Structure 1
Amino acid sequence: MSDVKTSQRILLSIAVGDAYGAGFEFEAPEVVERENDGKHYRKRAGFTPGHYTDDTQMTLAIWDAVRLGGPFTPRYLADRFVYVYHRDPRPGYARGFEGVLKACKNGTELLEKLKPTSDRNGAAMRSVPLGLLLSIPKVKAYAKIQAAITHNTPGGIASSQAVGLMAHFGLKRLGKLSELAAFLEKNVPGTPWSEPWKEEVPLHGIATVRAALTALLACRKQSNLLRAAVAFTGDTDSVAAIALGCSACFAEYQQDLPSVLIRGLENGPYGRDYLKALETTK
């Protein structure tokens, strides 16, 4: 499934989920319930409807690192993080991390300035492209490397590994979607992946991935998945970006993203057409 068409579908799914979810992030439950129709990008202060956030931008940094096949090292990845931010600054970054990115000219400076002690979801939200790698051990190893740059904690690393493996499981046809939670419990032990998430989603790596997994397992259509991911409330853009990106990796999923959302996705220098043009290999 790792052809051009699949790569386009994955990136567009992530971007649409991110942009749609951004309109509902940490809004009141009654607002989410009333307006989460899956048919329009919601306007929210500080965000332009239909524009993706840091979730997609950081994913593009990892995508390029995987696609180009260069040395998957902290220095190389940090360079990519700095590069994608400065070429196209946009909202959504944690305030402290954005401040560091602004102050850095390259990855060496970023690595020197960062204190990677967070267990939030920044490492998980950018990990879907790791599913393209050829083996489970490689997915886990690369997920640990990239997570440790910013989230060198057990939860930060485990959440990154789980997202990469969710995508890998689908792309490599390792089993039925209904078997995914058991697969994660075997390969990323210590988290009850089989237990459905039922609460508002905090800015926490494991919680975000559990919510995305719960929504992914409950649906078989992307149109339904988008609404289910946002319905949790809380950090809705990260949950939707991860869930939609992983759904694009599964043959069992009906790829029926609403055309109005695809058409409404931003189309600037790094928008819809740019995402469609990216491939999985050189």
Structure 2
Amino acid sequence: MLLELAIGDAYGAGFEYASNQIVRENNRGERYFQHPRHTSILPGQYTDDAQMAIAVAEVLVTESHWSEDILAGYFLNAFKRDQREGYAKGFYDFLCSVDTAEEFLARIRPDSEKSGAAMRASPIGVIADERQVIEYSALQAKVTHNTPLGVNAALAAALMTHYFIYDLGPKQDLGEYIASKVPGDWNSPWKGKVGALGVDSTRAAITAVITENDLKSILLKCIAYTGDTDTIATIALAAAACSKEVDKNLPQSLYGNLERGAYGYDYIETLDKKLMALVK
């Protein structure tokens, strides 16, 4: 799950809010693309989406219980040890300015409806108890996105992976399942550009997973929406990687050229194995 999540983020980062022409001409799914404006993010580097999902996975495999201060500490540690671009400027500056979980919680304004809580929620789906998936997804969302839309987007993203890991139904019924658990229009096909709202990215990801039958096609569809492409692809590939109905055919070039730094491919692969070992 985590490797595919990171690949979706790194691939999508090259096309985030890029022009329709750039997307049409370069979205082939075979190699990472250098974003025309965000030149500090090199092809194959993941961004905040994967970094925060890694932090959530670390909490899952390390901690016996969850709290806001534990979560804030892991979010902050993931950033401080491996400071990277991709975060919204305001949140990036905030992370640079705080040093402890206590300071994080004291100063954060958790009023966002954007996608930050959803993009990191997918690992929570490994939990066997659906009620705990919902509880933990909401708890981690409220640290930074304590709004109905912010929380609901995170719940939907986590339940997507949970649905496939525990084989709760056919792929075509994913939207109906999410709609039965989370308020919102999760079962209507998404069309058009995806903006900054977390619920929009998650709805688009659900549509991509339902309508396509292999990882490469799902990735291409996520980017073809245009807009917040890295978040859509992060959520969609994490879920699709857990589905027995999806052909795992991402090109080897995307695995081979994912970043190899201290928290790159090898670290993610090892963490991924620990995460999936929690499945009951």
**Residues 1:194 and 2:212 aligned together:** no
Which stretches of structure 1, 4 residues or longer, exceed 6 Å deviation after superposition?
none
Residues 8-29 of structure 1: CA deviation (Å, up to 9, x unaligned): xx11100110000000000011
**Residues 1:19 and 2:10 aligned together:** yes
Query: How far apart, CA to CA, are the structure 1 residues paired with 2:125 and 2:61?
Result: 11
Query: How far apart, CA to CA, are the structure 2 residues paired with 1:158 and 1:188?
Result: 6
- Map residues 123-162 of structure 1 onto 2, 5 A cutoff: 123-162=117-156
Instruction: Give the aligned length.
Output: 272
Which residue number corresponds to residue 217 of structure 1?
A: 210
Query: How far apart, CA to CA, are the structure 2 residues paired with 1:228 and 1:54?
Result: 21
Which residue number corresponds to residue 158 of structure 2?
A: 164
Query: How far apart, CA to CA, are the structure 1 residues paired with 2:133 and 2:253?
Result: 34
Residues 210-229 of structure 1: CA deviation (Å, up to 9, x unaligned): 01111111111001111011
Which residue number corresponds to residue 276 of structure 1?
A: 269
**CA offset at residue 199 of structure 1?**
1.4
Which residue number corresponds to residue 75 of structure 1?
A: 69
**CA offset at residue 36 of structure 1?**
0.2
Which amino acid counterpart does residue 68 of structure 2 have in structure 1? P
Choose which of 54, 61, 64 in structure 1 pairs with 2:55.
61
Between the aligned residues of both structures, percent identity stands at: 38
Q: SS at the partner of 2:143?
A: helix
Residues 50-104 of structure 1: CA deviation (Å, up to 9, x unaligned): 0000000000110011112332100000000010000001111011111111111
**Residues 1:262 and 2:259 aligned together:** no
Task: Name the Cα RMSD after superposition.
Answer: 1.0
TM-score w.r.t. length of structure 2: 0.95
Choose which of 229, 235, 244 in structure 2 pairs with 1:236.
229
Query: How far apart, CA to CA, are the structure 1 residues paired with 2:215 and 2:157?
Result: 17
Which amino acid counterpart does residue 15 of structure 2 have in structure 1? F
Query: How far apart, CA to CA, are the structure 2 residues paired with 1:72 and 1:202?
Result: 31
**Residues 1:99 and 2:90 aligned together:** no
**CA offset at residue 34 of structure 1?**
0.9
Segments of 5+ residues of structure 1 without an aligned counterpart are: 1-9
